[in-house]
Amino acid sequence: MTITKVLIVEDEMLIRMALVADFQDGGYEVVQTGTAYDALHILRTTPGIKVVFTDINMPGDMDGLTLAHYIRQHWPHMVIIISSGKLLPSVAALPIGARFLAKPATQATMAVLCNDIKKELS
């Protein structure tokens, strides 16, 4: 069985560490970064990423929504999860097919998400 690779884009280190643990517990290989621009570099240079989990609010002039739209344009089959504890974007603001997850998410919620993504990719 192939292990699915996920890219986590989250600028808050403690939250990122928790997300890394949740995805690893769910059986994923994790690549991580704290900025949208680093995420784009990783996507261009790291083969096999199938899932991107991104926060909305990040440092720099590219936020998670902009990143998600760029990803949808350039990697149309990528599974995209957008998360925020501060903003609740409208469905129209999300890229087609992207999911929104409000923070904080429980471990149980993350376990369900990990399983749902695996089913979607199989």
Q: Would you call 105 helix, strand, or coil by DSSP?
A: coil
- pLDDT, residue 37, reads 96
Q: Which fold has domain 5-95?
A: Rossmann fold (3.40.50)
Higher pLDDT pick, 86 / 77:
77
- pLDDT, residue 85, reads 84
What number is the average pLDDT over the span 96-106? Answer: 91
Domain-wise residue ranges, the chain: 5-95
| Per-residue pLDDT tens over the stretch 11-55 | 999 999 999 999 999 999 999 999 999 999 999 999 999 999 999
Which residues fall within 8 angstroms of residue 78, CB to CB, at 6 or more apart?
Answer: 49, 50, 51, 52, 71, 72
What number is the average pLDDT over the span 93-118? Answer: 92
DSSP codes joined into one string, 66-102: HHHHHHHHHSTT-EEEEEESS----GGGSPTT-EEEE
Mean pLDDT of all residues belonging to the chain: 93
Check pLDDT > 70 for residue 1: no
91 φψ region: left (φ > 0), alpha (ψ -120 to 50), beta (else): alpha
- pLDDT, residue 32, reads 98
pTM exceeding 0.75: yes
